Structure 1
Amino acid sequence: MAAEYAVMNTSATANLKFHPPTRKANVSLPPPGTTKPVHCSTTTPAPSHSMDTKNHAYKQLGLFSLKKKIEDTIAQAEMLEPALELEQARCVKQETNIRGCNLWNDPVKSNEILGKLADSVKVVDALKDLKYKLEEAKLISQLADKEVINYQLFKEAYSASVDVSKFLCQYGMSKLLKGPYDLEGACVIIQAGEGVDSKIWTEELQTMYMKWAKKLGCGGRVVEKNSCTNGGIHSATIEFEYECAYGYLSGERGIHYKINSPSGSVHHEVSSACVDVVPLFLGTVLDVQFSDDDLIIASPLCDKGKSKRDPAVLLEHIPTGISVQSSGERSSFANKMKALNRLKAKLLVTAEEQKVWDVREIRREHIMDVWKNETRRYVWHPHKLVQDLKTGIHLPDLNSVLNGNIEALIEAHINLRNEQ
């Protein structure tokens, strides 16, 4: 088994930011074609040495913090064993209830029951996969700790622990999502403010959300993008077609400011972009009723260089003044249907915010204007800082946030919603 894990899978570890220490050591390499692990003769503790001696060797080799992260992740994951048992029991109970129901008599109720069962099965499968990854990380870590300190085994153990850590984060946050649409997908619309810098800033925000989705392992799809001739974009629409995306991203709604103060200047250069988020319903038919007389169907104003036959469609709901558009499809009819779904989703969210049961009860004067709701400031100079105005969180690593590491901000928004 040790020989099996000593074979390094380069494709699985290509993205790891782990580098062996530059400190020199007497290394005996195995002959080509063998799987004998690498022996570090100058610092490898003998098996009879104490744990303190071994930890000292880990520190010398630069592996101590890595080993600690693996152990912490394993300890955290082991606490989820009762959760797996609970989810399995819930799944069995749902299957038992289904056997006692006549699903043909009530199609609506049967769809609801089967949907809940499918969700439970997904959670159980995910927890089983987590358990497998956990055992893998533990086994490799133990193999690396036996007789020799092996970099390759530590890399594999770390890779497995990273997968476990990502799942733990997602699983923990998903349990906090309690809104009626939090488990749906998400449609994120980003619009630029005035000026060329705002157009460039809007493109940076689009990149940030795409990087976040990629790191999450789900990805996003840019379905609409209105580019500028002199750089940047006027607007972009991203669809995240996976569960819980709306619950994660709904806190991003509002104005995002980029603030830069040139060296020696007392004036701030401010770029702005507005982010709106609506649910993207996955396999659900929206039951939102309104009259055709309540809609204005038009074509958005065409930019220079665009064909007047652009199939883009703009919809406005007259009673509320809410407007949406779609331009990513090839035909006007397809764009109209997509815009209609976005409008229904927007109306449902607005009704939920105003705590009314019917979209016809929405009060226009109480609708939140995302352009008047400041969410976050990204300060570039004189010091780099991300300030989230809704949660009060300040993050000093601006570049990390723009690279898609927004989990701390998302978790803070979820916790804030649960406190309200």
Structure 2
Amino acid sequence: MADIDSSALDALSARLDEVEGYLHVDELRGTVAQLEQESTAPGFWDDANAARETMARLSAAKSDVAGIDAARAKLEDARAALELGEETSDDDLLAEAASIASSLEHDLTELELSSWFTDDLDHGDAIVTVTPGQGGLEAQDWCDMLFHMYLRYCDRRGWTVDVNDAPQAEVIGIDHATFTVHGHNAYGMLRAEQGVHRLVRISPTDEKKRRQTTFAGVEVLPILPDDIEVDIDPKDLRIDVYHATGHGGQGVNTTDSAVRITHIPTGTVVTCQNERSQLQNKAFAMKILRSRLYEMELEKRAAELDELRGPKHEIGFGNQIRSYVLYPYQLVKDLRTGMETGNVDSVLQDGDLDKFIIAYHRWVVAGRPEQ
């Protein structure tokens, strides 16, 4: 936002009013006061799990209120700098007004996203799995590229990542990747990535340097809070242990620490090998299994299918949500929203995904208009 005028600030003010309405800020302030009172009550920490959930709700509510208050302050600072700059013809003040307005625009986008996330699961952590699709060895390499793209994106957002399983493939790339993302709105943001991703490039493994089209699938699951019950009969589980490979800490391969759990009635298989301890790997594999079985139950009910993960498709031609073209031209385009960029490196190398994720959520809020 290089130039700024009063009409631009009026538009930002209108956006801020809308966000305040979405977030019900007055109610949020009351919620903060109520939860703060609860957190100081005697015996509050007697039930540690309930206390942690209350503190998480308090932190989220305080964050939204603080965001609104900070945005209001920036708007007033921008107006003051603009008015004084116009009165005195001071270019430095006008530049300051433009800079504050640009910062405010970014803050409003983040607040709008938070206001669109109406499910409690949206504000929590996410389990992401990237799986090779059509394309043979190339698909395994593409899976690895997407995996590292998401690691960079999470780093840009200040989220922390635990790599649960990312075994190296025999020739190139990885067999799959499963990782957990910890951060505010992680699941809400990343569910925009659920679906099939298509890569077009000159094959690095083809001696004739022919163009190759490759696919990978991305699954995004929420981390379920403890109060959501998923009934799993231990008799329905087959648990295998094996040597860990690929990503992991020093010494991770010295014991049979990796765990594979198969839920026999559904055929669901989950693996985890990031921790040295077999018990830790088993515990996290069970957490992933709970989330997947919860998803399957929602699918049976059908009502919430689109909200959590969208319809299932074969990981191949005709089902992609986004295309990444490296040859004969360079373009990343989301086929749902129409958002695109020619700066492929900024996406794949630097993890610059916000434009695509924000566009997706705007598209959803607008009712998913036909493209």
With the shorter chain as reference, the TM-score category is 0.7 to 0.9
**1:40-55, aligned counterparts within 5 Å?**
none
Match of 1:67 in 2: 3
Task: Quote the Cα distance in structure 2 between the aligned partners of 1:192 and 1:325.
Answer: 16
**Structure 2 gap segments, 5+ residues each:** 304-310
Answer yes or no: is the 8 Å Cα contact 1:312–1:332 preserved in 2.
yes
Relative to structure 2, which stretch is displaced further, 409-418 or 238-247? 409-418
Match of 1:287 in 2: 229
Task: Determine whether 1:242 maps to 2:183.
Answer: yes
Task: Determine whether 1:307 maps to 2:253.
Answer: yes
Match of 1:343 in 2: 289
Task: Determine whether 1:182 maps to 2:127.
Answer: no
Match of 1:363 in 2: none
Task: Quote the Cα distance in structure 2 between the aligned partners of 1:229 and 1:132.
Answer: 56
Is the alpha carbon distance of 1:371 and 1:233 closer, same or farther for their aligned partners in structure 2, counting shifts above 3 Å? same
The correspondence for 2:16, drawn from 80, 86, 111, is 80
Match of 2:27 in 1: 90
Task: Quote the Cα distance in structure 1 between the aligned partners of 2:136 and 2:271.
Answer: 22
Q: CA deviation at 1:176?
A: 2.2
**1:9-28, aligned counterparts within 5 Å?**
none
Q: CA deviation at 1:286?
A: 4.4
Answer yes or no: is the 8 Å Cα contact 1:73–1:164 preserved in 2.
no
Task: Quote the Cα distance in structure 2 between the aligned partners of 1:160 and 1:329.
Answer: 45
Alpha-carbon displacement from aligned partner over 1:255-299 (angstroms, at most 9, x marks no partner) = 31211268xx99641233222211134x64542221101111113
* Partner secondary structure for residue 123 of structure 2: coil
Is the alpha carbon distance of 1:203 and 1:110 closer, same or farther for their aligned partners in structure 2, counting shifts above 3 Å? closer
* Partner secondary structure for residue 323 of structure 1: strand
Is the alpha carbon distance of 1:256 and 1:168 closer, same or farther for their aligned partners in structure 2, counting shifts above 3 Å? same
Q: Which amino acid aligns with 1:91?
A: L
* Partner secondary structure for residue 158 of structure 2: coil
Task: Determine whether 1:407 maps to 2:347.
Answer: no
* Partner secondary structure for residue 273 of structure 1: strand
**1:18-417, aligned counterparts within 5 Å?**
66-68=2-4, 72=8, 75-77=11-13, 79-81=15-17, 83-84=19-20, 87-94=24-31, 116=57, 118-140=59-81, 146-150=88-92, 159-179=99-119, 181-193=121-133, 195-215=136-156, 217-224=157-164, 225-227=166-168, 232-260=173-201, 268-281=211-224, 284=226, 286-299=228-241, 307=253, 309-355=255-301, 368=312, 371=315, 374-389=320-335, 391=336, 393=338, 395-399=340-344, 400-402=346-348, 403-415=350-362, 417=364
Task: Quote the Cα distance in structure 1 between the aligned partners of 2:14 and 2:284.
Answer: 44
* Partner secondary structure for residue 226 of structure 1: coil
Is the alpha carbon distance of 1:77 and 1:313 closer, same or farther for their aligned partners in structure 2, counting shifts above 3 Å? farther
Task: Quote the Cα distance in structure 2 between the aligned partners of 1:69 and 1:222.
Answer: 45
Task: Quote the Cα distance in structure 2 between the aligned partners of 1:353 and 1:103.
Answer: 42
Answer yes or no: is the 8 Å Cα contact 1:254–1:370 preserved in 2.
no
Task: Quote the Cα distance in structure 1 between the aligned partners of 2:338 and 2:168.
Answer: 32
* Partner secondary structure for residue 207 of structure 1: helix
Q: Which amino acid aligns with 1:321?
A: G
What is the root-mean-square deviation of aligned Cα atoms in Å? 4.2
Answer yes or no: is the 8 Å Cα contact 2:243–2:257 preserved in 1.
no
TM-score normalised by the chain length of structure 1: 0.65
Answer yes or no: is the 8 Å Cα contact 2:4–2:97 preserved in 1.
no
Q: Which amino acid aligns with 1:165?
A: E
Task: Quote the Cα distance in structure 1 between the aligned partners of 2:78 and 2:167.
Answer: 45
Answer yes or no: is the 8 Å Cα contact 1:90–1:120 preserved in 2.
no
Task: Quote the Cα distance in structure 2 between the aligned partners of 1:115 and 1:124.
Answer: 14
Which of 1 and 2 has higher RCO (CA within 8 Å, sep 6+)?
A: 2
Count of aligned positions: 338
Task: Quote the Cα distance in structure 2 between the aligned partners of 1:376 and 1:84.
Answer: 32
Task: Quote the Cα distance in structure 2 between the aligned partners of 1:396 and 1:135.
Answer: 34
Q: CA deviation at 1:71?
A: 7.3
Q: CA deviation at 1:88?
A: 4.2
Is the alpha carbon distance of 1:254 and 1:175 closer, same or farther for their aligned partners in structure 2, counting shifts above 3 Å? same
* Partner secondary structure for residue 176 of structure 2: strand
Answer yes or no: is the 8 Å Cα contact 2:167–2:245 preserved in 1.
no
Percent identity, aligned pairs only, is 23
Q: CA deviation at 1:136?
A: 4.0
Q: CA deviation at 1:347?
A: 1.6
Answer yes or no: is the 8 Å Cα contact 2:243–2:258 preserved in 1.
no
**Structure 1 gap segments, 5+ residues each:** 1-64, 358-366
Task: Quote the Cα distance in structure 2 between the aligned partners of 1:231 and 1:156.
Answer: 50
Q: Which amino acid aligns with 1:330?
A: R
Is the alpha carbon distance of 1:76 and 1:230 closer, same or farther for their aligned partners in structure 2, counting shifts above 3 Å? same
TM-score normalised by the chain length of structure 2: 0.72
Q: CA deviation at 1:90?
A: 0.4
Task: Quote the Cα distance in structure 2 between the aligned partners of 1:385 and 1:356.
Answer: 35
Decide which structure has the larger Cα Rg and report it.
1
